[in-house]
Structure 1
Amino acid sequence: MKKKILLLAIIFTSVINAQQLDPLRAKQYILQQEWVDSIIDSMSIEEKIGQLFMVQAYSNKDAKHEKFISDLITKHHVGNLIFMKGTPEKQVALTNTYQSLTKKVPLLIGFDGEWGLDMRLKNTYRFPWNMTLGAIRDNKLIEKLGERIGEQCKRVGIHINFAPVVDINTNPDNPIIGNRSFGEKKENVAEKSVAFTKGMQSVGVLANAKHFPGHGDTATDSHLTLPSINFTLQRLDSTELYPFKRQFDAGVASVMTAHLSIPSLESNTNLPSSLSKNVVTDLLQDKLGFQGLVLTDGLNMKGAANYATAAEINLATFLAGNDILLIPQDIPNTVKAFKKALEKGELNEERINKSVRKILKAKYLVGLQKFDAIKTDSLLVDLNTAKDELLHRDLIKKSLTVLKNTRETLPIKKLELKNIAYVALGDDKGDDFVKMLQNYAKVDVVSAKHLDKLTKKLEEYNLVIVGFHKSNKNPWKSYKFSNQDLVWLQEISRNKRVILDVFANPYSLLQVKTFTNIDNIIISYQNSKLAQELSAQAIFGAFEISGRLPISIRNEFKAGNGMIISPLNRFEYTIPEAVNLSRDTLKYVDRYIDTILQQKMAPGGQVLIARHGKVIYHKTFGYQTDAKRRKVKKSDVYDLASLTKILSTLPAVMKLEEDRKLSLHSDLVDLLPTYKDSNKEHLNIKQILSHYARLKSWIPFYTRTIDSITGKVSKEYYRTKKSKQFPIKVAKDLYLNKDYKDSIYTRIKDSDLRERVGYKYSDLGYYILKEVVERKYKKRLDKVVEEEFYASLGLNRTSYLPLEKFNWKEVVPTEKDDYYREQLLRGYVHDMGAAMQGGVGGHAGLFANANDVAKIMQMYLQGGTYGGVKYFRPETVEKFNTRYYPQVRNRRGLGFDKPQINPREKPTCGCVSENSFGHSGFTGTYTWADPDTGILYVFLSNRVYPTMGNRKLVKSNIRTKIQKVIQDAILN
């Protein structure tokens, strides 16, 4: 024994022999000492012994259990409780009850909440496992996490949280630590755990460094047996003990001793380290100088419980140097054993007083000089806040780790060239991952029961995202690939460019024999809803990826590996608090939506709100029709009506102007020679876009094709079947004579100009502009915008002629047309003039969902750039977002609608900036963007259902009332 102690002294020469600061010392040390002295002097030996026990209490058990705990407190003076499973409400109620039973000193309440209260309590917040946190570069975030978990603990009356785990997980087969460790690098584990401790203790909750002297390199679970660690003293000192020493220097309040067999420290290999004086006293307290509380790991665990009887184990544990016995069994006989040891001289009261003093100091430190009942009001609200989700999002975002990025595939660029498939591996769901991926591009879910069929299905795709999803229920769940998964992964990777996204412990990659064909690898660590959604966002460049691998995967990837992947400034999907918007104020949006439905202003719709490039509100409401058969989905597309002007024709014109293929000041005759000698030949693009060209507002072209006698469409102009002479599809089973297209343009050319100079909103200019665009590009407008903008923007839910791209069930109907087409319009443009152009109009005809509308508007907000693609120069956007005729009270920019000049007009709420811009649509659509506040708003509905006589939505100005709510929600 003397030889071992001498050897220890030699080995630990680098360790300061005594910790400089007592971690249990309060700022008001003298008052603390006086209180401790007054309490201990008044205690009987039974009361002192009772202070040494921390028994387990449940908030999900019956009255019999509650009486059992109450009796331990009143009859055996138990001084500490550790709460286990239950609910926060019941735990708080029981804490208040149990505390009321104490006579001299309140109970110290412990808890095992490594990733937050969710580890034990229902309806509370779950933060990521330590392995996930180990990937984060910024330790300040870990400190914030420690602080927040501390606040939550304090809210339910917890004084000591048994966290952080400081074990260095150097054994991939460790069945009990694994995800609970910050990783395999001692420096990273030390830095993360110190940051966590600092954060939690800053709010008055004691931290606990566990499991001393290190449980990271074991292959068995100490809950079930006694693991053995066969390392030399030098190895233990340089590796396992390193983070503990850093914790001691940082002032951690307590340590938990592990149930391990460590021959190099304790010659009796059957004696758990938690019961070894060599470990607990000689090493931990004498050599390493730790002066804080020393607690055992749970004494109900087989690693300790198999050693002897409960009373014998408890006494031996205390004699080894532990201060608090965690989850001791058989309290009555343990008390007897302690008294008997006192009588025999095996134990003296001075030794008991030493631990009791430390326990009382800890109680003073956490404010237990007296106990005030814990408030129960708003408990769940306080424990589940937006602050928690914001922190959680930051933690996940900063943990995502890219290990391979062949040919800079990540983030995904050039969407117009990508045909993307998603394949799921693993035994858990990836639905949230897929849904978020589909916000950015068309991503098809491809599956098959057999590999050959899967391979065949994947032939048409040039990029495959493989999601490996494993259970996120707890950190001990299996993370391994099945043999089939491994075979399928290699076969898919051999044939296709692959992005492998691992929603599991990174040790899972140890099973992958070769990474040669796996082009891109991202580790998302856990399969939570947030991890899935944020990883999908990162893949498309919504934010930077910066995580570092916390463990090694053979020689392929070392701990600390992780590429920095720059963002592309695509949308991020988050919560209002992320952009300083009031969640409570935005609830009024929901109320307005309720009003829309109740008053039948529209059967349903979509609303999207974003700020600074972050979508914070994206909801659907109601049904596609008042029959209430199909609820509106986010993927459903609406007839955008006049939003087509700024989402289709306008960007095409802007591109032509920027490329100097037309001038805003060019006479119309120079662009369209057919207008020579007409009253419009000297109109220019600037005037047309500003609705200042004296054009009529519209021409009801369809009325001349109605038979005056029957009131039905004339057979002269229409057929029910398509032919060479009747190729223009106006609606289902209705085709227009091809010659009528010329009649439309002739009527526009020959139409009178308004005599009065000034502002007059007109659709006719966009018939003209469509012709200009198609002449310049030598292709149809829908092809122009798809190729120049939509494909690369990822507008997979945007299209003219939607039935050619989408299932009819995904297209929201508009009007029950009883005056022209005699049918419910579903997938056919509502505007009659656009319909007579085959559904592709410059003023109407576009269908989309709110998410896609927002992408184009965000591109404008970002000065013409989105997803890493520059569509326009910022000065071009500014040029078109400028009023040129305000002197005649013309509020319009070039194409864009602008805030009102005339108070009688109400294009906006009157509360947006002069720099803002947008447009509204006849079918009940609206979008607006404000560069000054960064706010983007999209409202889609089919208010023309069942007929366009339904003007309740328009008369109520409810779309702009919602806009006012959004403005009011801005906090700063």
Structure 2
Amino acid sequence: MKNIDIRNYFLYVLFFFVASCVGTKNNKSNVVLTHIPTTVSDFKIEEPKEDKSKEETALFKLAPQGVKWVDSIYSGLSFDEKLGQLFMVAAYSNKDNYHVNAIDRLITENKIGGLIFFQGGPLRQAKLTNRYQAKSKIPLFVGIDAEWGLSMRLDSTYTYPYNMTLGAVQDMALIEKLGNQLGEQSKRMGLQFNFAPVLDINTNPKNPIIGFRSFGEDKNNVTDRAVAIIKGVQASGIFATGKHFPGHGDTDTDSHKSLPTVNFSKERLETTEFVPYQKTFDVGLASVMVAHLNVPSLEPRPRYPSSISYNVVTNVLQKELGFKGLIFTDALNMKAVSTYKKTGEVDLDAFLAGNDILLFPENVPVALEALKKAYQDSLFTDERLEFSVKKILKFKYLAGLHLYQPVVLDHLYQDINSSKNEALEYQLYENAITVVKNEGAILPIKNLENQKIAYVKIGDGSNSTFLTTLKKYADVVEVSDVNIDSLQLKLKEYSTVIVGYHKTDAAFKDHDFTSNQLWKLAVIAKNNNVILDVFTSPYVLNQISDFSGLKGVVVSYQNNAIAQEVSAELIFGAITAKGKLPVSIANNFKVNFGLTTEKLNVLGFTAPENVGMNPLVLAKIDNLANKAINGRMTPGLQILVARKGKVIYQKSFGNPTYDSPVKVTNTNLYDVASLTKILSTLPNAMLQYDHQKLNMETRLDSMLPIFKNSNKADIHFKELLSHYARLQAWIPFYKATIDKDGSPLDQYYKKNAEPNFNIKVADSLYLRSDYDDTIMKIIVDSKLLPQKKYKYSDFTFMILKEYLEKTTGKKLDVLSTENFYKPLGTYNTMYNPLNKVARDRVIPSEIDTYFRHQVIQGYVHDMGAAMEGGVAGHAGVFSNSMDVAKIMQLYLQKGNYGNRQYFSEKTFDDFNTCYFCAEGNRRGVGFDKPQLGTSGPTCGCASMTSFGHTGFTGTMAWADPEQEIVYVFLSNRTFPSEAANRLSKENIREDIQELIYDAIVK
């Protein structure tokens, strides 16, 4: 041992003696000084002795060839190279060449052992990783902070939920799955370490640095989730790092700025803060990061950072807790430690304390000189250096760096942004979102026909996905006014008010309501039935002292698109609430509290993988949609695919017309043409059947007396709806009302509504009021086809409309709205849309040059339906893909939707039966069915239990019970002219359907 200044020795002994006395006198610490220097030789810092009482985890064991590699590499290192292995330097992929060259020099001249990457981009970082590894004699450790994914540091990468959100999730298998995906992405980036998870138990709501980074305030919850994350990460071949030892959860200071104090006794630390560490050590946690904290119960020297405390790092972490993995300091440039000592001194103290890797040193050359001088002064031994360096080399071997391969750059972006990221995120939010109040079972919202729902936004974060999704379930109206009195006046007419509090995820630390927002919420809650949904930290609820005015309270944790979509699903019952609070909310809601809610069988939303579908195959639908538009088969279209009750694909393409600058959106309404038959007329007929007002053998003359003594009197209901009644396909009724030039005759039409001319056919065109009877009389008197065979006919549903209206005393549009559209929440489905929505929301269907002589927009394309005032049994309905899907899902669920039985399962089965298949007629009762031969309405891949319909304007709705699939295709292929039906000739709808079946994961 080299000589040292004996004066320094006595000062050192005196310091420890005074510190221990002060600690005892003030009773602020229960520390037991396990080692006070008494001789000069005590300055020799030995490697931690191996604790034989704890068997080394299998993760840390090396096979003989590994031991040989470590020994061989170590023996070939110079003293400077050994010291270099201790340093892990900060690197960036968004900085200039000066920074890149500086890292080059640290690798080539100072022989550093690793890099921790910070801000940049994935491809840039991967290129730099390859560059830096190529310059290093020994492969470098490369790590990154990726607590919620690579996006914590890198642009163009995926963001997973924060730990606080995960703290609400009760399914540990999902958390482990997340850990695995985090690990896979890190591995793809050429990393060996993900500096996660955070093991801090956040018991301080005002914690400025941990907070949402913690799994919560319950030590067992934190432990369970940390274990799951670690298992997942390390199963992928990446080392996890538990942080921030000994526990950063109950601090009110940011250690990046100053030194936080943790005033707990050692007993408290052992029974709370240390618990996650002890449990994760048992499952093989590879590394620990030591925080810069002032912990008087562990370190008697006043305001002495834990990261450079021998007692904390060596005595407690390694000896008492038995940790045998790698030990990292927290970043040594942080003010909590960097202001304590000079550069170089702090690095030396960190090493002497027992850390293996010095993270983010401020100046490596200066630190190296400090270490060299300390060695010369015998402040540490060769054995101490060997202990850490060999441990580092051992983990490099375990990481596979002895067989180092550069990062493959091809497809890097695609690989780390796989669609399975989104699929998992849906699952996590479905399990995280928490309901803490549900007075009167206000959640989920039911009985939509009796509801009038408003939405009010509070906060400066985006709310677009939340509002859009709410509107997919019901006619939710956004209401706003800066004046609270005016706002309240507007809200008086609504039965339920959903208040969304939206803060950007980037502002998660700054989540509090303003005083004005709190007042606004209190006023709204006092006067309305309010559901509050907060898209930020649950701690924001601490500001609400009185919850009595709120009927429902939902914690959605974050404000991204998936959180908003899933939260809207919960509000309307597509999912049940499963989350539990990870933290307590004052005295109102305790940690682990969360209510369950009723699940309704309504359509929800998710990623394709979650229902067994391949998103890459589904993505090919885009190509076919664009093919149709680019080939001028249709100006635009909407497509929706759902499986197992979840919408997995909903997109709009093109424009309303070929020369329109506006894009089609999912909220536009299309004339669905013959889909009207199964969206309006058929379900009402099924109700009559369900109520035993008719049966399959009911004769037409008993349904409508007008058919008595006609050639159609003995047609049975089953034959009528199976298109097996010898009815003509159609009659162009309008031709009898126009002259030879195609102009409307004055005896039938007026430009303005008059008492006897009130059937509006188009703009400035009104048909005689009695012509509806004329149409029906023409049908009654029409000739039957000579042979009984399948012949599709519009007459079927025109007759059925007449029957329904005569039987119920209500118009068909009223029947459909009351019986189905209102309770289903299909408020975008309607006849005569111009009476209810703005014209520009309705997609035009044709430029009529033969009858109405105008652009047909908002009026039904079918001429016969137009002559019935737009309300017909065979055509007239306008809708969008989402609403059509709801009705198809109602059928798929055999008459049940939203846990309401509209008609019996038997009724549906009776109507979905092909009664005349043996005679070559594929039709069900009202439903179209798959082809019996080579030609028909489907791709030929749908099951024979499937059903649906197609429409003349280029529409299709199809459902398959066997695969639980709903497929909706809406277009205006008839614009500008119906003449050339290339959409049908080129099998666009059928080819898309085939892709859907191809996407099913076998």
Answer yes or no: same fold by TM over 0.5.
yes
Provide the rounded CA distance (Å) in 2 between the counterparts of 1:329 and 1:952: 69
Instruction: For residue 573 of structure 1, report the CA deviation from its aligned partner.
Output: 2.0
- What is the CA deviation profile of residues 411-446 of structure 1, one whole-angstrom value per residue up to 9, with x for unaligned ones? 221111111111111111101111111111111111
Provide the rounded CA distance (Å) in 2 between the counterparts of 1:907 and 1:49: 74
The residue matched to 1:608 in structure 2 has which SS? Answer: strand
Matches within 5 A, 1:516-555: 516-555=548-587
Q: 2:136 aligns with which of 98, 102, 105?
A: 102
Residue in 2 that maps onto 1:189: 222
The residue matched to 2:402 in structure 1 has which SS? Answer: coil
- What is the CA deviation profile of residues 887-906 of structure 1, one whole-angstrom value per residue up to 9, with x for unaligned ones? 32111110001112243x43
- 1:760 is aligned with what amino acid? K
Instruction: For residue 602 of structure 1, report the CA deviation from its aligned partner.
Output: 1.4
Residue in 1 that maps onto 2:526: 494
Provide the rounded CA distance (Å) in 1 between the counterparts of 2:475 and 2:860: 23
Instruction: For residue 674 of structure 1, report the CA deviation from its aligned partner.
Output: 2.5
- 2:400 is aligned with what amino acid? G
Provide the rounded CA distance (Å) in 1 between the counterparts of 2:308 and 2:481: 56
Q: Tell me if the contact between 2:801 and 2:872 (Cα under 8 Å) persists in the aligned partners.
A: yes
Residue in 2 that maps onto 1:440: 473
Provide the rounded CA distance (Å) in 1 between the counterparts of 2:770 and 2:879: 30
- 1:634 is aligned with what amino acid? N
Q: 2:960 aligns with which of 918, 930, 935?
A: 930
- What is the CA deviation profile of residues 935-966 of structure 1, one whole-angstrom value per residue up to 9, with x for unaligned ones? 22111111111122132223323222222222
Residue in 2 that maps onto 1:330: 363
Residue in 2 that maps onto 1:82: 116
Provide the rounded CA distance (Å) in 2 between the counterparts of 1:810 and 1:532: 25
Provide the rounded CA distance (Å) in 2 between the counterparts of 1:740 and 1:118: 66
Provide the rounded CA distance (Å) in 2 between the counterparts of 1:671 and 1:373: 78
- 2:955 is aligned with what amino acid? T
- 2:771 is aligned with what amino acid? Y
Q: 2:860 aligns with which of 829, 833, 836?
A: 829
The residue matched to 1:168 in structure 2 has which SS? Answer: coil
TM-score scaled by length of structure 1? 0.97
Residue in 2 that maps onto 1:272: 305
The residue matched to 1:110 in structure 2 has which SS? Answer: strand
Gaps of 5+ in 1: none
Instruction: For residue 36 of structure 1, report the CA deviation from its aligned partner.
Output: 1.9
Q: 2:236 aligns with which of 191, 199, 203?
A: 203
- What is the CA deviation profile of residues 467-507 of structure 1, one whole-angstrom value per residue up to 9, with x for unaligned ones? 1111112654x111111111111111111111111100000
User: Structure 1 stretch 549-558 or stretch 110-119: which is displaced more?
Assistant: 110-119
Matched, 1:861 2:885: no
Residue identity over aligned pairs, in percent, reads 49
- What is the CA deviation profile of residues 691-723 of structure 1, one whole-angstrom value per residue up to 9, with x for unaligned ones? 111111112222222245x64212222222222
Q: 1:257 aligns with which of 281, 290, 303?
A: 290
Matched, 1:46 2:92: no
Gaps of 5+ in 2: 1-15, 35-49
Provide the rounded CA distance (Å) in 1 between the counterparts of 2:657 and 2:53: 73
Matched, 1:758 2:800: no
Provide the rounded CA distance (Å) in 2 between the counterparts of 1:551 and 1:91: 37
User: Structure 1 stretch 847-856 or stretch 907-916: which is displaced more?
Assistant: 907-916
- 2:123 is aligned with what amino acid? E
Provide the rounded CA distance (Å) in 1 between the counterparts of 2:962 and 2:832: 35
Instruction: For residue 817 of structure 1, report the CA deviation from its aligned partner.
Output: 1.5
The 1:711/1:368 distance shift into structure 2, 3 A limit, reads closer
Instruction: For residue 633 of structure 1, report the CA deviation from its aligned partner.
Output: 1.2
Provide the rounded CA distance (Å) in 2 between the counterparts of 1:913 and 1:704: 43
Q: Tell me if the contact between 2:954 and 2:983 (Cα under 8 Å) persists in the aligned partners.
A: yes
Q: Tell me if the contact between 2:347 and 2:358 (Cα under 8 Å) persists in the aligned partners.
A: yes
Provide the rounded CA distance (Å) in 1 between the counterparts of 2:546 and 2:675: 51
Provide the rounded CA distance (Å) in 2 between the counterparts of 1:603 and 1:336: 73
Q: 1:22 aligns with which of 35, 56, 59?
A: 56
Q: 2:760 aligns with which of 729, 735, 738?
A: 729
The residue matched to 1:534 in structure 2 has which SS? Answer: helix
Residue in 1 that maps onto 2:264: 231
Matches within 5 A, 1:70-469: 70-103=104-137, 105-469=138-502
Q: Tell me if the contact between 2:90 and 2:360 (Cα under 8 Å) persists in the aligned partners.
A: yes
The residue matched to 1:252 in structure 2 has which SS? Answer: coil
Matches within 5 A, 1:31-70: 31-70=65-104
The 1:399/1:183 distance shift into structure 2, 3 A limit, reads same
Q: Tell me if the contact between 1:927 and 1:936 (Cα under 8 Å) persists in the aligned partners.
A: yes
TM-score scaled by length of structure 2? 0.94
Q: Tell me if the contact between 1:769 and 1:842 (Cα under 8 Å) persists in the aligned partners.
A: yes
- 1:767 is aligned with what amino acid? M
- 2:909 is aligned with what amino acid? E
Residue in 2 that maps onto 1:749: 780
Q: Tell me if the contact between 2:317 and 2:323 (Cα under 8 Å) persists in the aligned partners.
A: yes
- 1:171 is aligned with what amino acid? N
Q: Tell me if the contact between 1:163 and 1:208 (Cα under 8 Å) persists in the aligned partners.
A: yes
The residue matched to 1:493 in structure 2 has which SS? Answer: helix
The residue matched to 1:776 in structure 2 has which SS? Answer: helix
Provide the rounded CA distance (Å) in 2 between the counterparts of 1:212 and 1:834: 75
The residue matched to 1:310 in structure 2 has which SS? Answer: coil
Residue in 2 that maps onto 1:575: 607
Residue in 2 that maps onto 1:624: 656
- 2:985 is aligned with what amino acid? K
- 1:152 is aligned with what amino acid? Q
- 2:634 is aligned with what amino acid? A
The residue matched to 1:615 in structure 2 has which SS? Answer: strand
Matched, 1:911 2:941: yes
Provide the rounded CA distance (Å) in 2 between the counterparts of 1:784 and 1:893: 23
Provide the rounded CA distance (Å) in 1 between the counterparts of 2:201 and 2:613: 41
The residue matched to 2:74 in structure 1 has which SS? Answer: helix
Instruction: For residue 406 of structure 1, report the CA deviation from its aligned partner.
Output: 1.4
Q: 2:696 aligns with which of 664, 667, 672?
A: 664
Provide the rounded CA distance (Å) in 2 between the counterparts of 1:681 and 1:19: 95
- What is the CA deviation profile of residues 843-865 of structure 1, one whole-angstrom value per residue up to 9, with x for unaligned ones? 11111011111111111111211
Provide the rounded CA distance (Å) in 2 between the counterparts of 1:179 and 1:448: 32
Q: Tell me if the contact between 2:608 and 2:648 (Cα under 8 Å) persists in the aligned partners.
A: yes
Matched, 1:692 2:718: no
- 1:876 is aligned with what amino acid? T
The 1:385/1:474 distance shift into structure 2, 3 A limit, reads farther
Matched, 1:944 2:974: yes
Provide the rounded CA distance (Å) in 2 between the counterparts of 1:959 and 1:199: 42
The residue matched to 1:33 in structure 2 has which SS? Answer: helix
- What is the CA deviation profile of residues 443-472 of structure 1, one whole-angstrom value per residue up to 9, with x for unaligned ones? 111111111111111122111111111111
The residue matched to 2:702 in structure 1 has which SS? Answer: helix
Instruction: For residue 581 of structure 1, report the CA deviation from its aligned partner.
Output: 2.6
The 1:10/1:282 distance shift into structure 2, 3 A limit, reads closer
Matches within 5 A, 1:683-832: 683-708=715-740, 711-832=742-863
Provide the rounded CA distance (Å) in 1 between the counterparts of 2:984 and 2:140: 64
Q: Tell me if the contact between 2:813 and 2:831 (Cα under 8 Å) persists in the aligned partners.
A: yes
Q: Tell me if the contact between 2:508 and 2:536 (Cα under 8 Å) persists in the aligned partners.
A: no
The 1:199/1:582 distance shift into structure 2, 3 A limit, reads closer
The 1:185/1:25 distance shift into structure 2, 3 A limit, reads closer
Q: Tell me if the contact between 1:23 and 1:252 (Cα under 8 Å) persists in the aligned partners.
A: no
The 1:620/1:19 distance shift into structure 2, 3 A limit, reads farther
- 1:191 is aligned with what amino acid? D
Residue in 2 that maps onto 1:643: 675
Matched, 1:959 2:993: no
Instruction: For residue 927 of structure 1, report the CA deviation from its aligned partner.
Output: 1.4
User: Structure 1 stretch 290-299 or stretch 172-181: which is displaced more?
Assistant: 290-299
Output the aligned Cα RMSD: 1.9
Q: Tell me if the contact between 2:62 and 2:394 (Cα under 8 Å) persists in the aligned partners.
A: no
- What is the CA deviation profile of residues 523-559 of structure 1, one whole-angstrom value per residue up to 9, with x for unaligned ones? 1101111111121122222223201100000111000
